[in-house]
C-alpha cells in the first residue's frame, strides 16, 4: 500500500484557517487522495477526496500539488468541533485491495478557543 506522511500534531486557534499537510511521494497514477477525520470516541468520518485537481466541499478544501507528491487539507475557519485526528489516505483502486482504506497515524489537531 502507498504510504503517507503527516505531522503527529498541529495546533490552531478558533476561527483561523488550518492547513494540514500530507506527503505521499510514492503515489501511483491511479491512487486517489482521501481525508477522513476521527472525533474523540467516534468512528472516522469522510472529509474530502481528489485525484489531480483541487477540490472544495462544505467541510474543507483539498489542494493537490502538481506532481501529486503532496497535498494539503484546508479548514477555512477552525471551530472547536474540528478538533480531531485527521487521516490522509491513498485509496487503492486496483486488484483485491480495490476500495480499501489504509489508515496511518494521522495528525492530531488541537483547536484553542
Q: Could you list the residues that contact other proteins (CB under 8 A)?
A: 32, 36, 41-46, 49, 85, 87, 91, 93, 96-106
Shortest distance, position 97 Cβ to other proteins, whole Å: 7
Give me the phi and psi of 80, to 5 degrees please.
Answer: -60, -30
Phi-psi region of 15 (alpha: psi -120 to 50; beta: other; left: phi over 0): left
Please tell me whether residue 95 adopts helix, strand or coil conformation.
Answer: helix
65: which 3 cell numbers? 500539488
Q: Which is nearer to other proteins, 67 or 96 (CB)?
A: 96
Shortest distance, position 102 Cβ to other proteins, whole Å: 7
Q: Which is nearer to other proteins, 39 or 80 (CB)?
A: 39
Amino acid at each position: 500500500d502507498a504510504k503517507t506522511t503527516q505531522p503527529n500534531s498541529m495546533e490552531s486557534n478558533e476561527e483561523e484557517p488550518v492547513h494540514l499537510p500530507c506527503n505521499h511521494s510514492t503515489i501511483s497514477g491511479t491512487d486517489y487522495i482521501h481525508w477522513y477525520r476521527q472525533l474523540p470516541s467516534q468512528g472516522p468520518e469522510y472529509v474530502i477526496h481528489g485525484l489531480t485537481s483541487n477540490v472544495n466541499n462544505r467541510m474543507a478544501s483539498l489542494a493537490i500539488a502538481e506532481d501529486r507528491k503532496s497535498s494539503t487539507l484546508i479548514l477555512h475557519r477552525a471551530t472547536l468541533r474540528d478538533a480531531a485526528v485527521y487521516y490522509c489516505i491513498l485509496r487503492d483502486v486496483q486488484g483485491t485491495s480495490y476500495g480499501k482504506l489504509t489508515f496511518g497515524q494521522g495528525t492530531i489537531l488541537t483547536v484553542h478557543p
